[in-house]
Amino acid sequence: MESSEELMSLLNDKVNFGENLVIKLEPLVEIDGVMKLQRKIKQEIEFLRKLQRSKKVKIEQLSCSNLRHLGAMVESALRPGVIAVCKIFHTNDNTKLVIDIISDEGRVWTKVIARNPKSLSALSAGKASYGARSILDQAEDYLECAKLYPCMYQPPKVIFEFMSGIEENLANKLKAVGVIVKGEILPNSNPCDDSNDSWSEESDDEECLQDSQEMPQCMDEHPEIKTLNLDVTAMMAYVSNMTNGHCNYVFKQEVLTQQSAWEAERPVKPILERLFKDKTLVCCRTAWDDFEKIISNLGGPMEIKRTEELKNMIRVFPDDYGGEDDFPRKNLKVRGHVRLRSKIIFNFGHRIKALTVSANEGFIRAAMQQGITYASFVHESRALTEGKEPTATKISL
């Protein structure tokens, strides 16, 4: 049994370990969920500091600290390609799942498990508290949730990473249900016992079910998507005078002058034309009607003519074409950058498995904050400018 001095030394080491974890995360605070992870670590540190002040420490109190699991989370979060940690996804109105690590632009979900592999094997023999969810139950949760939140119309890959290793029997069962297993594969501690499916974890993996970046832009990576859903912003950029050879103006409106400068450096129309080549162009009724209203109010003669040409290139569908929205997108909350029009347009694109072409990066990021991703191609914003040219100053390029 450890002496009081040894326990205090272990306690001090844990506090220092936790403080170092917070520091390691500082460069990553812009990543979604990192500040939440920091708060969890600080809560553990505060609990340990209370023990320091009391000077009454029991080995059980040190053993129940969650810092080991949080440390494994930090190690994973520090890897390249991570876009979110501790991300909540709702599977229905009353149930949510917290995904430990999301990476590869949303294509990979990782659950981090820091438990001792022998402890996991002991729990597999049924030595778990009533109601504890097994690892296989958690695997099913992850896989079912991944189907609800596809990335580029494919469910994210689900990885269970065992930081201390995993015994072979359990690894094989996880692989059989579709989970990718990472971590050292260890010999079974009880090779004769392969009959019990009830592998469980205790509370250090709190990301079980509870009751209640850059977005992919390169079409070359997704040649299987042949249908493009045009947002109002994409149609405006396509027909604008600015993108059709008339960006050499200083406008009275500063935002238009800024966009003209960007257009001179990074023309948008050639990008859209390459994107549109050999693709089927579609939009929903809301998008087309709102676009036509904007053209009617603000468009110049050439912009109106290009709109007629675009009308011959694009097929307009009813807003509800493709059936009902899936659960997550139906429940996307309209607030802030999530406007109703954008929700209608992007949900339409999702239902028909199209790539939505848009300059509305604010909506895409706001939707991601609610745990929802859309297959999208983001281009720079360009406004209609032909009607503003008479009051602008023409410059030589």
On whether both 40 and 104 belong to a single domain, the answer is no
CATH number at residue 230: 3.40.50.1010
74 assigned to some structural domain: no
Residue 203 lies in a domain: yes
- Indicate whether 321 and 363 sit together in one domain: yes
Confidence at 123, pLDDT banded by 50, 70, 90: low
- Evaluate if pTM is beyond 0.75: no
Instruction: Give the gyration radius of the chain's Cα atoms.
Output: 27
Does residue 371 form part of some domain?
A: yes
Give the range of the structural domain holding residue 90, as residue numbers without chain letter: 79-213
168 and 306 in one domain? no
- Do 116 and 239 reside in the same domain of the chain? no
Looking at the structure, tell me whether residues 334 and 379 fall in a common domain.
yes
Q: Quote the mean pLDDT of the chain.
A: 86
In a domain, 353, yes or no: yes
Examine the pLDDT at 195 and tell me if it is beyond 80. no
* One domain, residues 376 and 228: yes
Q: Same domain, yes or no, for 292 and 369?
A: yes
Q: Which of 136-150, 190-204, 253-267 has the lowest mean pLDDT?
A: 190-204
In tens, the pLDDT along 36-71 reads 999 999 999 998 888 888 877 777 777 767 898 999
pLDDT exceeds 50 at position 210 = no
Percent of the chain with pLDDT over 70: 87
Model confidence band, residue 120 (pLDDT cutoffs 50, 70, 90): low
Tell me how many domains the chain contains: 3
Say what the pLDDT of residue 362 is: 92
- What are the pLDDT digits (tens) for 1-39? 467 788 888 888 889 999 999 999 999 999 999 999 999
Tens of pLDDT, residue by residue over 280-320, are 999 999 999 999 999 999 999 999 999 999 999 999 999 99
Q: Are residues 326 and 365 in the same domain?
A: yes
Looking at the structure, do residues 205 and 346 belong to the same domain, yes or no?
Answer: no
pLDDT at 127: 54
State residue 57's pLDDT score: 75
- Domain boundary among the residues 163, 181, 213 is at 213
Identify the domain boundary among 196, 213, 230. Answer: 213
